[in-house]
Amino acid sequence: MTEPQPDATEAAAHAPRDPDRLVRRAGLRGDPDQDQHFLVDDRVLDRIPGYLPEDADTTHVLEVGGGTGALTDRLLRVADRVTVVERDTRLAAFLREEFADDVESGRLTILEGDALEVDLPEFTACVSNLPYGISSEITFRLLPRGVPLVLMFQKEFGERMAAEAGTDEYGRLSVSAQHYGDVEVVETVPRKAFSPAPAVESVLVRVTPRDPDYEVRDEAFFLDFVKALFTQRRKTIRNGIRNTAHISGLSDPEAVVDAADEEVLRKRAGNMDPRAFAELTALADEHGR
């Protein structure tokens, strides 16, 4: 016996929205000057939600920079609720119209405003094609929330987030991001996947939150101390401590040098993993502040 087949209208109603058609319906072109590059590759869009960890809570997913809604559409298929933050008033209005049923049912909320300034709701995961101009600032607003993140970045930025100690890419960004979770580049996305095409390739990065295997008493001081030492990455830790008190906030850097192990003092910042930075920060906190 042959199984009945769904008719074409029903199948189309349940198919993911076509990203190129969404752009046409919105009547807006992406504007590189406004950091707008719409992701229009169906295959990439369909894969993105699947990069969340298997045990991720998708009760309430946040999307920063909804654009014309191609990713929003995919997120609504896996999440109970979605909140989109969109700065462009025209795109926010289009999203409310395009997804009127989901807005009406309460499954979709459109927050109009700058993601660096609006009050973000409580959310259980974040999946976003971020505006690259605010990549760093918004990432460090999201990381302390302790939820899974799948975020699109410029390739260089994403690779620096995931870099290991001792590599050329490893730096302040690597230590700071990996303080909050396990960071992985899960896919490289070509320029042609966007409209208009950006000047560089992009990557999707997954951050799986976890508690660090070290203790940090003062997180703000830890991050400032890491920042300070990486401004002197070509110098030894000894000289980095001495030269950056105006950044780290140390009142007695020489006391930290006297208390630190000689082997650590001979290293350079690029060869210190997050745990080593945490141990040195504790020493600096005790002896130098």
- Residue 48, amino acid: I
Instruction: Give the CA dihedral 120, 122, 125, 130, nearest 10 degrees.
Output: 0
Q: Is there a binding annotation on residue 223?
A: no
Q: Is there a binding annotation on residue 98?
A: no
Q: Is there a binding annotation on residue 37?
A: yes
Q: Residue 168 class from Cβ within 10 Å (0-12 exposed, 13-18 middle, 19+ buried)?
A: exposed
Give CA separation, 81 vs 57, 88, 176, in Å: 11, 22, 30
Q: Is there a binding annotation on residue 114?
A: yes
Q: Is there a binding annotation on residue 263?
A: no
Q: Is there a binding annotation on residue 218?
A: no
Which residues carry a binding-site annotation? 37, 39, 65, 86, 114, 129
Which residues carry a binding-site annotation for S-adenosyl-L-methionine? 37, 39, 65, 86, 114, 129
